[in-house]
Amino acid sequence: MRAIYLAIPLSAAFALAACGGNSDESSAPKTTDEVIAEAGKLVKPQPGKYTTQAKMIDFSVPGLPKEQAARMKAMMGDVAGKNSSYCLTKEEAEKGFEESVRKLGEGEGGQKCTFDKFEADGGKLDAVLSCTGKGGAKGTMKMKGTVTPTSNTMHMDMTQEAAAIPGGSMHMEMEMTSTRTGDCS
């Protein structure tokens, strides 16, 4: 589904080379079945048209020259600052968040991802996802948020380490809010 709606594509875009790494959680990673069962505890959204707004809180690549870092931050801020809309069908809404969570855990482009933490209870989500990818890339994404049948807010804090990144690491923190604005047309 789209909840974590648009968090999945944005986190995938952030991954550049891959997402993943070590988290600060001490327990063993959750299995896919455990995560899907937890995701089933989240309230299900209503079908309809949703508008999502992303707000960039922090974006930094310590190894970039100042001018290049400023351009990259501005570019990421422009992408995050634009609203987007989508239609959540009745079929997607009935599936809840389980399918989105499965896709998030599967990763993209040669990534291998695990959930170090995934706790869901009604309208609250607290998760830590670690991924590894090509060329030794690794990163961590922490997500905390709330969901209701007609809205959700996700706070995401992502770090990535890869040889391809100037200075070897980058950090992005953002907040995304999706709100139901009516029926699909």
Q: How many domains does the chain have?
A: 1
- The verdict on pTM exceeding 0.85 is no
User: What does the pLDDT read at residue 29?
Assistant: 81
List own/partner pairs for 79-82 with CB under 8 A and 24 or more apart: 79/54, 80/10, 80/54, 80/55, 80/56, 80/174, 81/53, 81/54, 81/55, 81/56, 82/54
140-184: pLDDT as tens digits: 999 999 999 999 999 999 999 988 888 889 999 999 999 999 999
Three-class SS state of 77: helix
Instruction: Look up the domain containing 69 and give its range.
Output: 4-182
**Cα dihedral across residues 9, 7, 78, 83: positive or negative:** positive
10-36: pLDDT as tens digits: 333 333 323 333 334 446 788 878 888
Cα(150)–Cα(30) distance, integer angstroms:
28
User: Is the pLDDT reported for residue 7 higher than 50?
Assistant: no
Q: Running DSSP on this structure, what letter comes out for residue 134?
A: G
